[in-house]
Structure formats: C-alpha cells, structure tokens
Amino acid sequence: MDSEQDQEQSTPVLTTTDQIDLPLREKPADDNEDQIPILEPSDYDALMYYWGLPNNPELVARSSSQRWDVEEATRLKKEMRFLGKHPLIQAWQNEGPASLRNQIKQLLKRQLVRWQSVRAHRIGFRNDNKELVRTEVILFITVRRGSLFWHKGRHVAIRCKEILEKLGIMDVECEIKQDCAYLGF
C-alpha cells in the first residue's frame, strides 16, 4: 500500500499506551454455522495463527469470527501474496478526511494504538498438491510488541472492519499482529 519510505514518514510515534478493557463479544457477527463466539486466543493459538508467514508474527486480535482450526492451521502453512486487483487498492489511494486511509489512521490515533504499519495482503494455504487455496484479503495492522492486547485490539479490529464496510468493501477482514522478537546477528 505505502512504500517503505512513505510508510516510515507517515507512521506516527505515539507515546501514550494506556490500555482499556473491553468486554468479549458474546455472540458471533452472524449466525452461520461455521461462526463461533470469539474468545481470547491462548498463547499457543496466538503464536500458531500465522504459521508459515515470514517473521513468525503473533496474533493480537482479528475482526473475523470465522472458526480457526488449530489442527488444520498447523498442517497447512499460510502464505502471503500480493493483493492483486481489488477495490481496496482504489479506496486506500483516495485522499481526504473521509478516505479509508485517513479513517483508519484516525481510529488508531483515537485508540492510542502504537502501530508500525498498515498493509493489505492476500493470505492463503498451500494444500498437499502445493496449490494455493482458500485465499482471503486481510488488512493487517502491525503493532509494537506488547503495546496492544486482545480486548482493545478486538475492538479496534471490529471498528476497522466497520469502516471498510461503510465504504462498500465487504470481503476484507482486519487483523492486528505483532512480530515475534528474536535475537540474531
């Protein structure tokens, strides 16, 4: 969405990291049978949710109430692809106070989210035949490690999804992740 240089220049540095506790959602977004109430992921679930993606990101929160199957997720690695042709691209490039980009940035600022990047990617799985299957478009918000937790993150992800839907973008979910910290040379 943004070039690395543009992203670095546009990323605000927020110094306040007060967290608020929000209640868990008690019922799914819709009544489809593959929907379940969203509960805070276990540490294991948060670590394994992005199995296969570079830098081993860790799930903080997501807007979707789609069932996440840990058995399948650890068998099939996720793979990140370029977005390709999608209405989200045009919406992101629009300028002005009502633009998608500005609304997301303002939401993150109001919620005191210490974000590092906002990017959209297509995510899918490689099946046993090495074919990319079940792809979906995700608006990723990457946050500083330890700066955002599930309750507030879930609230922010749902608000992002609502912004997307108000702009007519119905097939994009919002996920908030943090990169895993590891030492290296």
Segments of 19-167 assigned E as strands: 58-62, 78-81, 115-126, 132-143
Residue with the bigger pLDDT between 112 and 79: it is 112
SS3 1: coil
Spatial strand order of the sheet with 132-143 comes to 58-62, 172-178, 132-143, 115-126, 78-81
pLDDT at 170: 95
- pLDDT-derived band at 2, boundaries 50, 70, 90: very low
Percent of the chain with pLDDT over 90: 44
Place of tokens 């799914």: 28
For the four alpha carbons of 161, 40, 145 and 56, in that order, the dihedral sign comes to negative
For the four alpha carbons of 171, 174, 175 and 178, in that order, the dihedral sign comes to positive
**Displacement of CA 119 from its chain's centroid (Å):** 9
pLDDT at 126: 78
